[in-house]
Amino acid sequence: MVQRYAGLTFEEVVRRYAQTVAGVCVMRLQNRADAEDCFQNTFVKLLTKAPSFRDEKHLRHWLIKVAVNECYSLLRKRRPHLSLDDARDMPDLRTDDERDISWALMKVRPDYREILYLHYCERYKVQEIAAILGRNPNTVKVMLKRGRDMLRAIYGGETQ
């Protein structure tokens, strides 16, 4: 019998959520090799733990949370490699709008980058980001506002 995750086979889950998990890993680690390791570990955990999910939203949330935790775990083990060249080499399947913000996100501090990425690229709301990252929603709101100010400065716009 084939294992199902919110009604999807493992292959369907990988096809549907590969870009999301890869984006989380690249934005956090900025290193292709490390991002690939965390990407792979995320899907290996799905396969080995075989959790049950209420729906696809729950599955997506779980994958992002595991990917974030994998990145944190890797960063605890070794110093981060900040290679923008590696991140640029990864295939980019995003829309033009999402691609436009990606270069600017790479210039923002990692903790702000993560929140901005989840909000603008993955379309998560403040409460969902807080749950994924294990932070207070008010902290996420403040960081989102400060992150927007940083993006305005990068894009050359005026801050409020």
Residue 80 has pLDDT above 70, yes or no: no
Q: What is the pLDDT of residue 121?
A: 83
pLDDT band at 23 (very low <50, low <70, confident <90, very high): very high
In this structure, are 107 and 136 located in the same domain?
A: yes
SS3 category, 4: coil
- The pLDDT score that the predictor gives to residue 104 is 77
Per the structure, the complete domain to which residue 138 belongs is given by: 94-160
CATH code, domain with 140: 1.10.10.10
Has this prediction a pTM greater than 0.85? no
Domain count, the chain: 2
Q: 75 and 36: one domain? A: yes
The confidence score (pLDDT) of residue 94 equals 45
Q: Are residues 70 and 102 in the same domain?
A: no
Of 37-51, 74-88, 114-128, 145-159, the range with the highest mean pLDDT is 37-51
94 token code pair: 């995003």
Burial class (CB in 10 A: 0-12, 13-18, 19+), 135: middle
Going by C-alpha positions, the residue among 37, 36, 31 that lies closest to residue 79 is 31
Phi (first) and psi of residue 8, to 5 degrees: -110, 145
Same domain, 79 and 127: no
If phi > 0 it is left, if psi is from -120 to 50 it is alpha, else beta; for residue 7 that is left
| Last-in-domain residue among 50, 72, 93 | 93
Q: Which of 48, 74, 93 is the last residue of a domain?
A: 93
